[in-house]
Structure 1
Amino acid sequence: MSQTPTADELRNRLVDEILGRRSVPADVERAMRTVPRDAFLPGIELENAYTDQAVTIKDNPGKPLPLSCASVPSVVAMMLAQLGAQPGDNVLEIGAGTGYNAALLAELVGRGRVTTVDIDPDVALHARTTLNATGHDRVTVIERNGLLSAPENAPYDKIIATVGVWDIPLTWWNQLVDGGRLVLPLRWRGQTRSVALTRRGDELTSDSVELCGFVPIIGQNGEKTSPLNADATIRVDYDQDQLVDTDALAHTLLTNKPARDVPSAQRVGGQESFDGVWLRATAGDDRVCRLEVTPQALEQELIRRPATPGRSPVLVEGDSLAYLTVTREGVDPERPFRLGAAAYGPHGEELAQDLVTHIDAWGSARSVVPRMTVTPAETGAAAGHVIRKPESHIALTY
């Protein structure tokens, strides 16, 4: 008769699973094998606490995403590796969540200092309680809007955000030492990437850009979402600086069927990621948005199936659009899927050809990511394709 695995066994099994998929620094591995994630998730089945999945800890009524959750452990490991916290560091975390990530940070900095802030009083109290219970009472927990940071314990050697950030607040700049590291899930043109940045004077420069997904921070409203049909089962998400005529797009989807298909020369395998197409497109094209299509819309055949229905890149201009598609073809057993674009509207095929150009550019160097240089909006932008936001300018170059 098999015995039920213990928390220690489950924790080590999870870490082994993560190590099987990605490289993790020895100190991060040690912290993840030490800190009991289950202690930060009371009421959750033990085995569920040690699966590589996010766990909601507080719902957000009327909203599609929770108010707070425990992040996917492999993403936690990835971001801690990007941060590179060292013994003695003074670290600020934006988004306390369960307190688990702050506990890992406390293990990494040793006699250093960890401050974590959260806007929600219940979440902050939960983090304080669990950190105390697990012996991490030296972590400072502050109930506050994370956009305001925590000047009382500044300056910080490292800052990490565990919520999706659309713009980088000046408060974070002002409290990060020169040479310090900032890791955050940065949102632009409908996507989210965990970006690791190092401060050099009035510039933040990237050396790591990884795909991720996070609940957005409260208080930044630069992203817009608009339905493209009466039932809101087809939606477009875009940034405030983008001109999107949602009424014209809705009319186009209603009256222009079926989609025109424009294939690219790029094929992918069944387990091969092609999210880099989106990233590549944003480094030179301000028409990139996100298309969301629900299962209901697909069942009703309201639209040709996007590559990833819940979140696919789409080029939008006037009353026309073109979005990423993936089609199975049996020609190449190693890479049986062809990437392409579905076009709607009078200029849809031109947009589709432009999207195919982005696909082919990605296909020629699939693992290459752009260099990101961020400057405060008040100081002007660095060289490269610039995305302007109220508090920061983001320059992307390949």
Structure 2
Amino acid sequence: MSIDLSFANLSKAHLSEVNLQHANLIGINLSGASLDHANLENANLIHAELNNVDLNHARLKNSQLYSTHLRGAILNNALLGDAILSAADLSGSDLDDADLSGALLIGTNLKNTKLRQSNLVGANLSRADLSQADLGQARLTSTSMNDTILKGANLSHTDLTYAHLFGCSLEEVNWTNVQIGWTQLNDLDLQTIQGLETVKHEGPSTIGLDTIYRSGGKIPEIFLRKAGVPASFIEYMYSLTVLPIDFYSCFISYSSKDKAFAERLYADLQNKGVRCWFAPHDMKIGDKIRHRIDESIRLYDKLLLVLSVHSINSQWVEHEVEMALAKERGKAQTVLFPVRLDNAILERNQDGWPAEVRHTRHIGNFEQWKDHDQYQNSFQRLLRDLQSRKISNGE
């Protein structure tokens, strides 16, 4: 027959090594009591008062601690495997080296707790509050953390392999030398996490598109690459997430013979906050980079086409103009922005794309691009044309 001490007042009692296995301790007051090395396996401690209790090295496997008050409790080296601690208050408690494997900690208050080198393998920490908690070197393998609050927590050197994080608050979390692999990272904002570059990847992890978007694409490339994210996706990540506030993104297409101008234009646009990429368009058929250029034209908002006597004879310029015009028809907005370095496009008489470009749009004049003042006048005009409409018109 199990012991029944429900609602008893044993505050500050000295009960070291006591055997209360399977005991009914509902609502008991053990605040400030000494229960080090006690056996409380399978005990029912629901709604118990255990603030500032000493339970170091205590055995609490399979115990029921739902909605129990354990503020400031000493639980280092305690055995809490498979215990039910949901909705309990363990704020400020010491759980260093504790075994919490398989424990239910749903909605548990773990603010400012010490959990260094603790075993949380398979534990459920969903909706738990671990703000400012110290989990250094803890084992969090296969843990469930849905909507868990980890603001300012220290997770350095923790093992998060096979863990599932969904919708967690991760502001200013320390992830220095965290170990991940086959880890699920969904609906998270990773922008302010410290130490992402130092994370050790034991295998690939799943990083949801919702995480990419919430993070504004501001995730270290080395972290994404080692997590198994394809290089092509990383390259275009910013295009797939958020656009700059003030400017459209653009792809600069030019002849390699006009490289000096293209490099100057690219550098000046970048300095003004215009996100752009560029490559010469007079490549041979079969060049591997051609596919990447086609993808860039598709992903970037605008095609900035540098026209000169060299480029208009390129085998690729017609292809790129047609791609841009097709994109315009699909999006009902201007995509092609031509600029000229000479009069070649104006003097060309044949129909087709040259005639359409001449008749349907302003062609930026950079004939005098080597003259500083003339260049700046033309550049400022181009910059105004590349200003976005704050993405309010369906872009």
TM normalised by structure 2 equals 0.22
Q: Determine which structure has the larger helix proportion and give its number.
A: 1
Q: RCO greater where, 1 or 2, for CA within 8 Å and sep 6 or more?
A: 1
Larger C-alpha radius of gyration, 1 or 2? 2
TM normalised by structure 1 equals 0.22
Q: Determine which structure has the larger strand proportion and give its number.
A: 1
